[in-house]
Amino acid sequence: MNIVLLGYGKMGKAIEQIAQERGHHIAGRIDISNRADLDHLADDAVDVVIEFSSPEAAVDNIRYSLERGWPVVSGTTGWLNHRADIEALCHEKNGAFFYASNYSIGVNLFFQLNKVLASFMRKYPSYRVSMTEIHHTEKKDAPSGTAITLAEGIMEHLPQKTRWVTDTPATDNEVAIESLREGTVPGTHTVRYDSDVDRIEITHTAHSRQGFALGAVIAAEWLPGRQGLFGMNDLLSSNEPVNNE
């Protein structure tokens, strides 16, 4: 496949390595410095765009790609207040748009575990739920997209929780998210339930960016030929075999 990397920072480079190992051709490495080069790529020279840029750049990047008729896999976080506009454009253009706040297979298993745990805890309101996410100091957005997805999973199963907040103490209706920025941490997410006598805690720790990058390349292999809006649940529940080695 011919892949354009839209955003060529830490994730763009990790994705490039895995995509090449899996036999794909990188048709463009686009960063803030050479963004105009996109205009010189022929429409049919691109099978899929993988977009990992910044919260400020993502909407324009995705819009541009959909307008060119290119399927887009995006992992950029911190722009989802514009998600409805992008989804409407995707439908208008009969395009293909794949989004995940986290492409790691392990995190997507963790999302399921988080929902199961929340459904168990529904009967035990004396447990107070909270979350901590830890990332490297270069991360621009807080809380992480993954933490927001976890909070949404909790709210789906604990009806008394109606919103997530970043200030503490949280009220009985809120899920508190604490964001810490430390060194080069690739991404650690902990969900905990505290009572006066004990604590139940689940944690996902990424050891590197490899899991995120592999998941994004798998999504990029899956998307071309499809039309509409997709996420990791569509990919993981698809009947087609997934080569995640």
Ligand X SMILES: NC(=O)C1=CN([C@@H]2O[C@H](COP(=O)(O)OP(=O)(O)OC[C@H]3O[C@@H](n4cnc5c(N)ncnc54)[C@H](O)[C@@H]3O)[C@@H](O)[C@H]2O)C=CC1
Query: Pick from 65, 101, 108, 130: which binds ligand X (CB under 6 A)?
Result: 101
Q: 10, 115, 139, 157: which one is catalytic?
A: 139
Segment contacting ligand X by CB under 6 A, of 9-17, 19-27, 63-71, 220-228: 9-17
Active site residue 40: no
**55: preceding bond cis by omega (within 30 degrees):** no
Stretch that binds ligand LZUJQKHR, among 90-98, 111-119, 138-146, 229-237 (CB under 6 A): 138-146
Rule CB under 6 A: say whether 204 interacts with ligand LZUJQKHR: no
Q: Identify the residue among 65, 77, 108, 114 touching ligand X (CB under 6 A).
A: 77
φ, ψ dihedrals at 45, nearest 5° = -90, 0
From ligand X, ligand LZUJQKHR, none, interface partner of 93 (C-beta below 5 to 8 A by class): none
Residue with smaller CB distance to ligand LZUJQKHR, 28 or 145 = 145
Q: 76 a known binding residue?
A: yes
Name the site residues for ligand X (rule: CB under 6 A). Answer: 6-12, 30-32, 35, 52-55, 57, 61, 75-78, 100-103, 212
Name the site residues for ligand LZUJQKHR (rule: CB under 6 A). Answer: 77, 101-102, 135, 139, 144-146, 187, 212
Residues with a known catalytic role: 135, 139
